[in-house]
Structure 1
């Protein structure tokens, strides 16, 4: 069930590297001997996922989650330019209890219809282990190191950000929507009031619970970016139904953690 996330600009050779991984990991299974359950390698490509229903990154994420299993390998063949989306894929791997790794393909060129590449940073847990594909397409990937990262490493332990969360009643969904809206509005108001990068912004919002640490403002943030992150968090949360109303402060704290992780 390991997950491999390819990352890079259009034209950087991601699909070629995805096929190289498929062949190498499948061949590795054959070398390990005929007994036992066969390991399959699935390529989840951005265009194919969107064509199968839905659109864009949501369809890609849904297809990757559907393919994750106890035995198979999933290779996500897409630009994955946004670190927020790489974080979502990382959360899928944590929820499934599987290791993951990232393969960065150099080269290529930006396109106006694609987001700018937010370069992977191995200091972030969702961007490691990070492997760089050789710039020369004739040179192979570091396959022994990739295999070790996928098959010899323990999966990361589950934590609050990847546990199934309580979202059953329509009234509770409305409360969560209102809580995240209020948190975004409070952060925008703090910026208008003079909050500066490096400052911890307290967010006095009903539902966040007592002792909320607030949000560390690392840089100026626009309403459009906050709204996009809020929608991503709600989409992820709605995919994981749980127990109900008693967990609203916990989800509020998770939303602040999500913002802190992505507003760097």
Structure 2
């Protein structure tokens, strides 16, 4: 139902705000007998809950893997009945945008909470974690890592769509704006997926084999027709046996007959094989991605035959 991205400097108090205030406030509203909405549960995802050590932020590769772990778990938990709270540094605006796109793909609401604290406050809290016997030292950052993360932090902005709506909570604020956050995740605008955020439709698992077999059958049919008719190219009719049970054809394909316009000469096997390889290579990316720049690809035999016929007509020289 919603993704709440929590961001801020290390040791700014993000997890305390989430666990002691935000979760309790949201859960109280969900449990209220007067609430009849779809939200049924709250899931918090953080470095601690995912067993991500603070030391990963000293290594670019390890940090990238850690972000991937968080993102994968966010995607797994997002649905229409859950509020997912991403409680982490989330200091890279590109990563916040990635999470926003994943939420928009599922047409669920988003909100960003910026827990603001000065660098000096964060460093003081980190030092307390290191020196205090009552705290777990694994929750502290090495001083150089902390300095580096603060320096690299990219502050959220209400002016960009992936950080909006943005709720800024100062370390001096006594409480969070829980009523406004609740309205954002239950009544806020739901932005539909667009071309940049919607999932590309996947090609069938047999798309590549259909591509190969259909093009090969057409090459054989063209050679057989040339040999049987003795004609020197021109417009020829091909009768090709389809393996599809009842797929309607369109365009040039009339039943099982396909018209191909060849140059006025005999086309050789080597030419056809070369063009078949080029045709298949040009479509492999579409097989992998599931779509082309202009839209979805139709992987039926009839559609592949039609596209290969056009490809031959455009690439066979006179």
The normalised TM-score by structure 1 is 0.60
- Larger C-alpha radius of gyration, 1 or 2? 2
Runs of 4+, deviation exceeding 6 Å:
34-38
Secondary structure, counterpart of 2:170 in structure 1: coil
> Do 1:101 and 1:129's aligned partners in 2 also have CA atoms closer than 8 Å?
yes
Residue from 67, 92, 95 that aligns with 1:57: 67
Residue from 92, 95, 105 that aligns with 1:85: 95
1:143 equivalenced with 2:144 (yes/no): no
Residue from 110, 115, 121 that aligns with 2:157: 121
Superposed, 1:202-213 pairs within 5 Å as none
Deviation track 1:74-111 (CA, whole Å, cap 9, x = no partner) reads: 11000110000000010111011111100000113571
> Do 1:50 and 1:59's aligned partners in 2 also have CA atoms closer than 8 Å?
no
> Do 1:166 and 1:247's aligned partners in 2 also have CA atoms closer than 8 Å?
no
Secondary structure, counterpart of 2:292 in structure 1: helix
Secondary structure, counterpart of 1:97 in structure 2: coil
> Do 2:29 and 2:35's aligned partners in 1 also have CA atoms closer than 8 Å?
no
* CA gap 1:35/1:145 in 2 versus in 1, 3 angstroms: closer
Post-superposition shift, 1:47?
Answer: 3.7
1:69 equivalenced with 2:79 (yes/no): yes
Deviation track 1:131-178 (CA, whole Å, cap 9, x = no partner) reads: 0113226x1100111111110123111101111125668xx9xxxxxx
Ranges in structure 2 where 5+ consecutive residues have no aligned partner: 54-63, 124-144, 209-285, 296-318
RMSD: 3.2
* CA gap 1:38/1:106 in 2 versus in 1, 3 angstroms: closer
The normalised TM-score by structure 2 is 0.50
Post-superposition shift, 1:244?
Answer: 4.6
Post-superposition shift, 1:112?
Answer: 4.4
Secondary structure, counterpart of 1:161 in structure 2: coil
